[in-house]
Amino acid sequence: MSEGNPLVSRRRLLKGTGALLLLSVSGVSMAATSHILAVRIWPSSTYSRMTLESNVALKYKQFALTNPDRLVIDIDGLHLNSVLKGVNQHVRVDDPFIKSARVGQFDANTVRVVLELKRNVSPKIFSLDPVSTIKHRLVVDLYPSQDSVEDDPLLALLKDYNQGDLEKNEAVQAPLPGKAGRDRPIIIMIDPGHGGEDPGAHGKHKTREKDIVLKIGRRLKTLIEKEHNMKAYMTRNEDVFIPLRVRVAKARKQRGRPVCLNSCRCVHQPGRARFFRVCAVDQRCDLCGGAFPGANPERSRSDWRRQHEWRSLSGSHHV
């Protein structure tokens, strides 16, 4: 019988081993394949952000070069594609930090990204996990150098946030003398949500929440400052993403009463934004994520339910 033939048994063993080896090698190759899906660059006067979106998490190394100033990022397990080759098309002329961007296949398994800089920067690079329809992201934030931080309160807060020292370095403030509105101005901190790479909800006509809340925030600031006993500040006054904790810290530093500007929570669902809401956080509302002092989550949910019932009766409003 063939089962007793040692030559046949050896052939079967070799075929089986070869098949297993081929499957294992193919599995490793498939698991290690990385692709850049999108490149986004968001400049602002505060900092510039470059985001590389990929199908898997990226491994990288970074270093700086001078004459001219450059930031170099080597990404392992990656090959150039058309998306990555077009990175320089995303650099704007008015970007205060990035002069140009170029990429190259440094070796068989490494792509090198070079950012030529307009000024000395303090880079912060980190990874973000997938959320909704957005895949893995490698984020490159370029902040002004240390010398500029001390002269800018917002940059100082961002520095503390990036180092994990935001709450530790927050000074305890003594109560202000007198009564607000009578002895001193009432300070309002306007908080337009989202910004930068985070567009917020999308409207039916390609409107974006981040743009709408910023426009409304600017108009609201103008109206408030027409009052003789009121002063208004904004957590952001341009298209930039400011982390929630930093916005809260800025509001506390100015001792302002926060006013949160949001549409409905339909992020990354185009055409689903149906209404807009403004919330003055004053022991009653928690639409800003529960981060502001004095917010009451139960009252917030009750307020939202009443607003939702009113909209159900009166008709929804498109963003």
Over residues 1-59, the pLDDT tens digits come to 445 565 556 566 555 555 555 544 444 443 448 899 999 999 988 899 999 999 999 99
Highest mean pLDDT among 117-126, 189-198, 253-262, 291-300: 117-126
Same domain, 112 and 154: yes
Same domain, residue pair 115 and 190: no
Residues 46 and 135 in one domain: yes
CATH of the domain at 95: 2.60.40.3500
Q: Is residue 170 part of a domain?
A: no
Q: Does 172 map to a domain?
A: no
Cα–Cα nearest to 38, from 113, 141, 110, 136: 136
For residue 300, what are the domain limits? Answer: 186-314
Q: Judge if 143 and 193 occupy the same domain.
A: no
Do 230 and 297 lie in one domain? The reply is yes
- What's the pTM value of the predicted model, to 2 decimals? 0.62
Residue 259, in any domain of the structure: yes
User: Is residue 201 a part of any domain in this protein?
Assistant: yes
With CA atoms as reference, report the closest residue to 139 among 197, 193, 95: 197
Cβ(90)–Cβ(39) below 8 Å = yes
Tell me how long the chain is: 319
**Strands, sheet with 70-76, edge to edge from the N-terminal-most edge strand:** 59-65, 70-76, 110-117, 98-107
Task: Name the region of 99 (left: φ>0; alpha: ψ -120 to 50; beta: rest).
Answer: alpha
- As for how many domains the chain has, the answer is 2
Which tens digits make up the pLDDT trace of 170-195? 665 666 777 777 778 888 888 888 88
Specify the pLDDT at position 1. Answer: 46
Q: In this structure, are 250 and 194 located in the same domain?
A: yes
Residue 48: closest CA among 117, 101, 98, 113: 98
152 and 216 in a single domain? The answer is: no
pLDDT in tens, 134-173: 899 999 999 988 655 555 666 666 666 666 655 665 665 6
* Predicted pLDDT of residue 8: 53
How many CA atoms within 13 Å lie on the side-chain side of 269? 8
In a domain, 246, yes or no: yes
Residue 287 lies in a domain: yes
Claim to verify: residue 193 and residue 302 sit in the same structural domain: yes
Please indicate, yes or no, whether residues 212 and 107 belong to a single structural domain of this protein: no
Residue 312: both structure tokens together:
């159900």
